[in-house]
A and B are shown apart, each in its own frame.
Chain A
Amino acid sequence: MSWLSRLNPRGPGTRPGRSAAPSSPCTADPETCLMVFQNHWRQVSWVLEQHEPSSSSDDLTAVRNHTDQMLCLLAEERPAEVSEGGATVTQMGPILELVVTENILECLVQWHIRRGLDPDSQGALLKLFEMLIGQSQQPLLQHTAILHPLLRLLGACADPELGCPSALENSLVLLLNQVCVSMARQPVVLEMLFRAAPAQQGSTNLLIFSLLVPFIHRDGAIGQQARDALLLVMAASASHEAVARYIAENSYFCPVLATGLSALYSSLPRKIEVRGDDWHALRREDWIGVSSLVLFMNSLEFCNAVVQVAHPLVRSQLLDYLHNGFLIPVMGPALHKSSVDEMIASTAYLDLFLRSVTETSLLKTFLRFILLHRHDNDTILDTLLTRISSNSRLCMVSLSLFRTLLSLNCEDVMLQLVLRYLMPCTHVMLSQRRAIRETDLYGKSADKFLSLIPECCRLSTGPSAERDDDTAFWGKVLNSTSTESPAPHRPSTPSRLSFFIRQQSSGGSSGGGGPSTPTSMEPLQSGAPGSHPLSPDSPLSQHQTHIEFLDWDCGYLEYLRDARRGIELCSWACRDWSAPYDGENPSPNMAPPPPPPPTSNPSITMFPEHFSFQQGAGTNTPPGQQRAAIVAAARSEWSSSERDSGEWDVTIGKNNCISLTPRSKKRSLQREELLPKPVPPLVPSSSSSAPPLSASHPTSSPSPHIPTSAITVSYQAMYNGTVGQGDSCLDNRDRGLEVKKVKRDLGEQQYLDENANQNGSLVSCPSQSCTALPHSIFSNSDISDAKSVRPKQIPPQSSITLQTSDTHNAPSDLPETNQSVESLIEELLEQAPGDSQLPGDSNGQGISIEAFTQELRELEDRVNERVRAVCQQEETIRESLSAERQEEEQTLSLVSEAKLTGDTKGDSSAVGVCSPARLLSQPASQPYTGPFMVVLFAKLENMLQNSLYVNIQLTGIVAQLACYPQPLLRSFLLNTNMVFQPSVKSLIQVLGSVKNRIEAFAASHEDFPAMLKKAQQYLVARGKVDWTDLPAAMPTLRRSDSLVKSRKPSLGDLILRHTNSPTRARHAAQLALAHVRDGGQSLHSALFRGSGGGGGASGLEKQAEALRVKNAVYCAVIFCEFLKELAALAQEHAVTLPFPHSQVPEE
């Protein structure tokens, strides 16, 4: 309703003119005024009565002058107040009475029209009427003597051919606006307008309405006035069935509004200027300067308002038109544009629209479009889902959109995204279904999550400090929580605190304030005492670091509080859902089988790599299709990695792919041009605006045991969100095709070489000819995704045969084998049947290479199991360094062998990894948790390679999902004790794999602790800077700003906060950089030391490496925080009470 009140600044009682009138000096004696008026009227009527319409301008001037005077007098006249039997009755003032009885205005307008209205006098009349209606002290419009000439005048403006002369538009709209304002005050006027004889209104029943409609989408004040006026009509007609019916059936209002949106949309920028590497959504500050977008948003806001106030008839018609006239024909295709820029733009727009719409039914229309509308056989939702797996800003933007969707707490959305896949409960073992409803009473799941914090990230102080730390920590707890009011349903905070203080048996402080000052506080975490003692020799630095770590480490309480808030808000918002989704209601048996994974989606073939891993089963796809799939996959990979990594092309260029090199040079130039003033990078040394690499990878790594594979891959993604990356998308596509051509023309060898080099896996493979084919098309991490899940999905038999045949080929190529792995392999070989086929021949699929690497991984896992005997069986994803490396070497050699067998093998093996065709062949019976979960988990598993901002977004989304109280979802994400079907990957598995990768990375970088510290400091500093101007920060439409308020500078809000204002974010980054500049330097220098062993490494390559390391280090930081967040969510779920169903919708 705020809209209306804004429109109606002058209510009947507050009308300034009226209230000011009594003291107004110009209020002369009414009788005198009447005499003056009559005098003017006499003189005018003398002119008017000349039968021959004079064309003399003297007449016109005279009439105008007199009319001005007359109407001013009329406007200033106050209604006569006559007391009749004690009651005061307002009557028409004498002038008005005269005007009505003599029909003066009608005569005037008629005379003008007879005379031929020139725009000048027309405008003058419009202005006069506007003045009269706007300033009149008494209601005028209910008198036909005023209304009809007004309509006649307006009718003259609505020339069917000429329309309204542009010079008059302003006056016209202003007048219409005034009419609508007084109509809103006197509803009877609407009735009169509606019933007025067509003679006065021309062809339409509601002239003012028809006149206003063309201005709906107009820019500037005039458009706003028109929309305001229309909205008043809408509000007035909400209770007027006939008018509403007329608007819906006889006016073009709804179609104009909806199709106008389409037109406005088409003028929006196709490409959004990228501003900062963390940009992922359009905020108000982003679009307020883009006039076309402002225009669109104004109209959308207007639609929202109309939906809010209009009659149900009008509303439903408008929604209908919006759906069929804007969303389907315009938004749908826009979201499916082939250029990545356009995808980014349209996704960001859709996100913005969703965040801006507040009316439930309008939101429903949008959601219906997203969830149900099929464009080219796929729902919009499917299409959007596939974008998450891209490695670009598109991913960020898509994640942001999904975040918006999740924040709606809409049952229908959640049903389509996740719940319908979980409802049949096929993802859990039958015996486990009971456990779906269980909550984590004793913190087991939380403990499990926290246990995944990599050892290398547990910064600790000396053991002696531990006790004090705890005391101080709890003191702080006391401090921070005792001020807040106790939660309604839980025992008092102080009691818990005092309990723990007692337990610590130190620091006897009871209920008071915190016993310790902030400076005395030290990190909470002291997991591995003594492993990394802080340097004791510099007390100052120690002091500082302590403070900083305090900020960083002691956030668990904050996470708990956030988790509680998040869960409460979510469960409150979900209280009116139709079902609890607890594994029993809706019944698993009744649930319809979830839809199979999306089919033949162009977008999927664009980004197939992350879908590949759950598509384990072999396919019988025709070869042609396979090839097409490979090409598409290669293209996508090429394009996506291209998008993300500036130097990628250079790696190619190094290798004899001639066609690519110049282009990359050109592109690099472009990029440099694009960045005259680069946005401050996170770490100065590893600027994302670095020119592309031009040198090759080092041919040997300093330490043979450095895990190259897990890490080297990473830089394909690490440029996520870097400036200007989007520019080259089309290029990339082309290039992807070119790659294919190269491959055909020059033979496979070259193709492989390029890719292998790109991969960095050649470190261990001096021979250029032995190349890793699957690696070449997909990054290692993708492969490992594929591999790690595949063992569970490949039908047992086929997987066994593949394994054996593979391993048979393998052993000779194992140069540096972990002892136990070796023995296991030997074991395996003994069991293997004798038939030795070349891998590709073992079956037509040629998935031998992955099968082999997968087998290796399994072996490695078994070794790990034996050695550690800690983790669960499911965690087969772990990648220990040596085995990884080994595996790669074997793969390489295998491929070189396999290569001999012919060209097709390469293709088919690639298909084994990634074919989108697998999507088609996904067996319906296979438990499938839905594309959303699959793509999120895949992305999550790749955390080490994701950019900081992708990870922040990603973990934010998962955390948001984990807030949902529905047992199906909660148990799937947070119950770490649940046993899922083998083909279903659990969150804990994914996180375990990330943990292993981080540990592997840390082990290979001796200065990892220092880098980690710097990264933490940087994030803390950045968060602090942002906090300082938080009060000014604008809360987004539906996110509670309180989230931002209390959060430690850790996870999702970091990015949230940042995007509140890009400029502020940049400013913050700059300031933060000032704090930790040395940190950046050391990050940088670390890289040089770490990777610069080979003499030929160029600075560019080092920078690439620096980025890769940066991503990994930030990932480690985010990962730890994410685990705390999940643990807190798991704990809070156990203590949350459900909200009762609300009978009546609240608010």
Chain B
Amino acid sequence: MNLNPFWSMSANTSRKRPDNEEQSGHGEQRASPARLPFGKKQLPAIPKNATPITKPSSTGTPAQSANGTHASYGPFYLEYSLLAEFTLVIKQKLPGIYVQPSYKSALMWFGVIFIRHGLYQDGVFKFTVYIPDNYPDGECPKLVFDIPVFHPLVDPVSGELDVRRAFTKWRRNHNHIWQVLMYARTIFYKINTTEPLNPEAAVLYEKDVQLFKSKVVDSVKLCNSHLFDQPKIDDPYAISFSPWNPAVHEEAKERMFTYKRRPEDHHKGTQVSGLSWVKPGSTQPFSKEDSPPQS
């Protein structure tokens, strides 16, 4: 337990919080020209699957991948498992959370989380997810905030979030990375002080909420003051923020909102119009009679 009572309270007061998550488009811009726009943001319910379990996890031996049968294809499996996880993240449309796998390793994802209300309102926390290389048979991924947020479950030195309490044993097929992300979001809305990584924060929350709150505000400020810093990890796909620049961001924003995904090499010549004359709710062919030509 790293106990650090000297959590800097001299938070930078510059609160140049980015207007919105569109800022994050900048980082992506470098990476890939177009990405899927995420869905409407709204606060979800706490994910059920992420119920914390307080049993200490057994340090599982990093077993070799179970897909050992065909060694030459093994890398494909890992890669595709991670891709599939990423696809799930996209499908979940997690509110206020953005992730992007690193350029250098598919096992490292950069992310940022926007807190819209509550104690941590206006917080913009960048983080990095580290996935064990024996995924999905290893332990749960690690999630480390770039700047240690003042929070009972965040290590005040390393910035690592206590993920393992929620995923005592990482079970393939049941546990997914989006749940980790969801969990990271949840802690900012529902404070849990049991077995804290940051006892100071836990104690303050229990005993002196006002002080806790002010520390949180300072922490949020600190984080936001470093928002435009260079990414901690030098990676082309690391998420970096920059002040709003209409010349750059308007266009990117526009593209994000107007983007319509098409198949990769879809061209007009191919007839893939998706013929269907089935009336919704019916299972009969040609039940939808919009233009009945037959007698």
Q: Which A residues are within 8 Å of any B CB, using their own CB?
A: 312, 315-317, 319-320, 323-324, 358, 360-361, 363-365, 367-368, 371-372, 408-413, 415-416, 420, 423, 439-444, 446-447, 450-451, 453, 470, 473-474, 485-492, 494-496, 498-500, 502-503, 524-527, 556, 560, 564-565, 568-570, 572-579, 586, 590-592, 1035, 1037-1040, 1042, 1127, 1131-1132, 1134-1137, 1139, 1145-1147
Q: Cβ of A320: which chain B residues have Cβ within 8 Å of it?
A: 293-295
Which one, B42-50, B82-90, B211-219, B220-228, is touching chain A?
A: B82-90
Closest 9 CB pairs of A and B: A491-B101, A443-B77, A573-B272, A412-B285, A319-B293, A411-B276, A410-B275, A1134-B84, A568-B263
Bound-state CA distance A315–B292 (Å) is: 11
Interface residue? B246 (CB, 8 A): no
B275:A411 contact, CB within 8 angstroms: yes
Name the one of B33, B84, B265, B294 contacting A441, with C-beta atoms under 8 angstroms: B84
Name the one of A474, A491, A1040 contacting B269, with C-beta atoms under 8 angstroms: A1040
Interface residue? B267 (CB, 8 A): yes
Bound-state CA distance A749–B146 (Å) is: 87
Name the one of B36, B86, B263, B270 contacting A1038, with C-beta atoms under 8 angstroms: B270
Interface residue? B14 (CB, 8 A): no
A578:B73 contact, CB within 8 angstroms: no
Q: Which B residues are within 8 Å of any A CB, using their own CB?
A: 31-36, 66-67, 69-73, 75-77, 79-88, 90-91, 100-107, 133, 136, 172-173, 236-237, 261-283, 285-286, 288, 291-295
Bound-state CA distance A489–B35 (Å) is: 6
Decide yes or no: A1035 and B274 within 8 Å by CB, A315-B293, A488-B32, A1137-B261 being known contacts. Answer: no
B105:A1135 contact, CB within 8 angstroms: no
A573:B273 contact, CB within 8 angstroms: yes
Tell me whether chain B's interface is mostly helix, strand or loop, or mixed.
loop
Decide yes or no: A1127 and B73 within 8 Å by CB, A410-B276, A443-B67 being known contacts. Answer: yes
A495:B101 contact, CB within 8 angstroms: yes
A532 to chain B, nearest CB (A): 16
B277:A485 contact, CB within 8 angstroms: no
A1044 to chain B, nearest CB (A): 12
Q: Cβ of B173: which chain A residues have Cβ within 8 Å of it?
A: 441-442
A1038:B271 contact, CB within 8 angstroms: yes
B128 to chain A, nearest CB (A): 14
B270:A412 contact, CB within 8 angstroms: no
Decide yes or no: A565 and B265 within 8 Å by CB, A363-B275, A575-B274 being known contacts. Answer: yes
A566 to chain B, nearest CB (A): 9
Q: Cβ of B75: which chain A residues have Cβ within 8 Å of it?
A: 474, 500, 503
B36:A486 contact, CB within 8 angstroms: no
B271:A415 contact, CB within 8 angstroms: no
B72:A526 contact, CB within 8 angstroms: yes
A367 to chain B, nearest CB (A): 8
Q: Cβ of A442: which chain B residues have Cβ within 8 Å of it?
A: 66-67, 77, 81, 84, 136, 172-173
B101:A1040 contact, CB within 8 angstroms: no
Q: Cβ of A592: which chain B residues have Cβ within 8 Å of it?
A: 283
A591:B83 contact, CB within 8 angstroms: no
Tell me whether chain A's interface is mostly helix, strand or loop, or mixed.
helix
Name the one of B237, B288, B293 contacting A495, with C-beta atoms under 8 angstroms: B237
Q: Cβ of B76: which chain A residues have Cβ within 8 Å of it?
A: 443, 446, 556, 560, 1131
Given contacts A579-B280, A1139-B261, 18 further A-B contacts (CB under 8 A): A315-B293, A365-B293, A371-B286, A408-B275, A413-B285, A442-B66, A443-B80, A446-B73, A490-B86, A495-B106, A526-B71, A565-B263, A569-B266, A572-B272, A578-B276, A1040-B265, A1134-B83, A1134-B84
Residue of B nearest to A579 (CB): B280
Residue of A nearest to B73 (CB): A450
B266:A572 contact, CB within 8 angstroms: yes
A491:B83 contact, CB within 8 angstroms: yes
B245 to chain A, nearest CB (A): 23
Q: Cβ of B172: which chain A residues have Cβ within 8 Å of it?
A: 441-442
Bound-state CA distance A320–B33 (Å) is: 49
B273:A412 contact, CB within 8 angstroms: no
B70:A447 contact, CB within 8 angstroms: yes
B85 to chain A, nearest CB (A): 7
Q: Cβ of A586: which chain B residues have Cβ within 8 Å of it?
A: 281, 283
Q: Cβ of A574: which chain B residues have Cβ within 8 Å of it?
A: 274
Name the one of B69, B82, B85, B275 contacting A364, with C-beta atoms under 8 angstroms: B275
Name the one of A315, A412, A420 contacting B277, with C-beta atoms under 8 angstroms: A412
Bound-state CA distance A495–B266 (Å) is: 25
Bound-state CA distance A312–B283 (Å) is: 27
B72:A412 contact, CB within 8 angstroms: no
A524:B79 contact, CB within 8 angstroms: no
Bound-state CA distance A502–B294 (Å) is: 64
Q: Cβ of B279: which chain A residues have Cβ within 8 Å of it?
A: 578
Decide yes or no: A488 and B85 within 8 Å by CB, A316-B291, A411-B276, A1127-B73 being known contacts. Answer: no
B102:A495 contact, CB within 8 angstroms: yes
Q: Cβ of A416: which chain B residues have Cβ within 8 Å of it?
A: 285
Name the one of A443, A491, A576, A1145 contacting B106, with C-beta atoms under 8 angstroms: A491
A360:B273 contact, CB within 8 angstroms: yes
Residue of A nearest to B279 (CB): A578
Residue of B nearest to A423 (CB): B283
Bound-state CA distance A490–B105 (Å) is: 13
Bound-state CA distance A1038–B66 (Å) is: 41
B86:A491 contact, CB within 8 angstroms: yes
Bound-state CA distance A474–B265 (Å) is: 24
Q: Cβ of B88: which chain A residues have Cβ within 8 Å of it?
A: 441
Bound-state CA distance A663–B66 (Å) is: 61
Residue of B nearest to A416 (CB): B285
Name the one of A316, A412, A447, A568 contacting B77, with C-beta atoms under 8 angstroms: A447
A447:B87 contact, CB within 8 angstroms: no
B107:A1137 contact, CB within 8 angstroms: no
B81:A441 contact, CB within 8 angstroms: yes
Bound-state CA distance A1038–B270 (Å) is: 5
Q: Cβ of B264: which chain A residues have Cβ within 8 Å of it?
A: 487, 564-565, 568
List, sorted by A's number, 8 A–B pairs whose CB atoms are closer than 8 Å. A319-B293, A411-B278, A487-B264, A488-B34, A488-B36, A491-B86, A575-B274, A578-B279
Q: Cβ of A569: which chain B residues have Cβ within 8 Å of it?
A: 263, 266, 270, 272
B73:A498 contact, CB within 8 angstroms: no
Residue of B nearest to A315 (CB): B293
Q: Considering residues B71, B236, B294, which has the most beta carbons from chain A within 10 angstroms of its beta carbon? A: B294
Bound-state CA distance A745–B237 (Å) is: 83
A919 to chain B, nearest CB (A): 22
B291:A572 contact, CB within 8 angstroms: no
Bound-state CA distance A494–B264 (Å) is: 18
Decide yes or no: A412 and B283 within 8 Å by CB, A320-B295, A1038-B271 being known contacts. Answer: no
B294:A1145 contact, CB within 8 angstroms: no
Q: Cβ of B271: which chain A residues have Cβ within 8 Å of it?
A: 358, 408, 1037-1038
A681 to chain B, nearest CB (A): 35
A572:B286 contact, CB within 8 angstroms: no
Name the one of A368, A410, A470, A1134 contacting B87, with C-beta atoms under 8 angstroms: A1134
